[in-house]
Amino acid sequence: MRISYQVRTSNVVRDLVASASFDIGLAADEVDTSGVLHSVFNTPRAVCVMPKYHRLTAKTVITPTDLGDEAFLALSPEDRVRVAMNKVFAADGVRPRILIETPYGLTIAILAAKGMGIGLVNPSVITDRMIAGIIAIPFEPAVHFRELILRPPNGINSALITDFMAELYAAPNVLSTEE
């Protein structure tokens, strides 16, 4: 069996799955789900990433008030999690000093490692300590990302795909409980 693993934006993944070019795809929940079957795959809690030498690394949890005076690396304004984060900040009367906006949590983590600021990301972008020089600390109140499994609308539900999806769902630390 040949497997093609490709990392693309969620919109491209959706289009490839909708056209049946791919049998399965993983995407952020901002993606348009028309023309594909979809289910929630994972709901990880946002973490705050910062350089390992940052003054906030001594904290066990980061709150909106901790971020008020920080150079903030933000997700794009249209991102669902960014919208939720904006509401959390507003509820605490905090207006982050946004230095950079990007659609990619990985970019936020890399920039944090370079000392350019701190930001909130999906912890899956920093698994296995793949980015040196950063610390990740839980953010409170909890804000959750949602990741989807996408399938073609008329895709063949082969035993291989069924087994593969079962393995994805069974993987450790995959499904997070919403708090």
| Residue range 81-136, pLDDT digits in tens | 999 999 999 999 999 999 999 988 999 999 999 999 999 999 988 876 678 899 99
- Residue 140 is predicted with a pLDDT of 95
pLDDT confidence of 176, banded at 50, 70, 90?
A: very low
Same-domain check for residues 104 and 153: no
Same-domain check for residues 52 and 116: yes
CATH code assigned at 85: 3.40.190.10
Same-domain check for residues 165 and 110: no
Classify residue 89: in a domain, yes or no: yes
Burial class (CB in 10 A: 0-12, 13-18, 19+), 145: buried
Tell me: the pLDDT tens digits for 13-68? Answer: 999 999 988 889 998 888 888 999 998 888 899 999 999 999 999 999 999 999 98
* Position with higher pLDDT, 21 vs 157: 21
* Position with higher pLDDT, 140 vs 161: 140
Same-domain check for residues 59 and 90: yes
CA 169 vs. chain centroid, Å, equals 17
Same-domain check for residues 62 and 25: no
Phi, psi angle pair for 156, to nearest 5°: -75, 125
Model pTM?
Answer: 0.82
- Say yes or no to pLDDT of 172 above 70: no
Same-domain check for residues 52 and 71: yes
Tokens linked to 58:
């001594």
Same-domain check for residues 85 and 129: yes
Same-domain check for residues 77 and 158: no
Same-domain check for residues 61 and 103: yes
Count of domains in the chain? 2
Same-domain check for residues 84 and 165: no
What mean pLDDT comes out for the span 147-151?
90
* Position with higher pLDDT, 110 vs 153: 110
Classify residue 178: in a domain, yes or no: no
Same-domain check for residues 26 and 76: no
- Residue 42 is predicted with a pLDDT of 86
Same-domain check for residues 64 and 105: yes
- Residue 60 is predicted with a pLDDT of 96
Classify residue 176: in a domain, yes or no: no
Owning domain of residue 104 = 47-138
CA atoms within 13 A on the CB side of 159: 1
CA atoms within 13 A on the CB side of 14: 18
Classify residue 2: in a domain, yes or no: no
- Say yes or no to pLDDT of 152 above 70: yes
Classify residue 179: in a domain, yes or no: no
* Position with higher pLDDT, 52 vs 8: 52
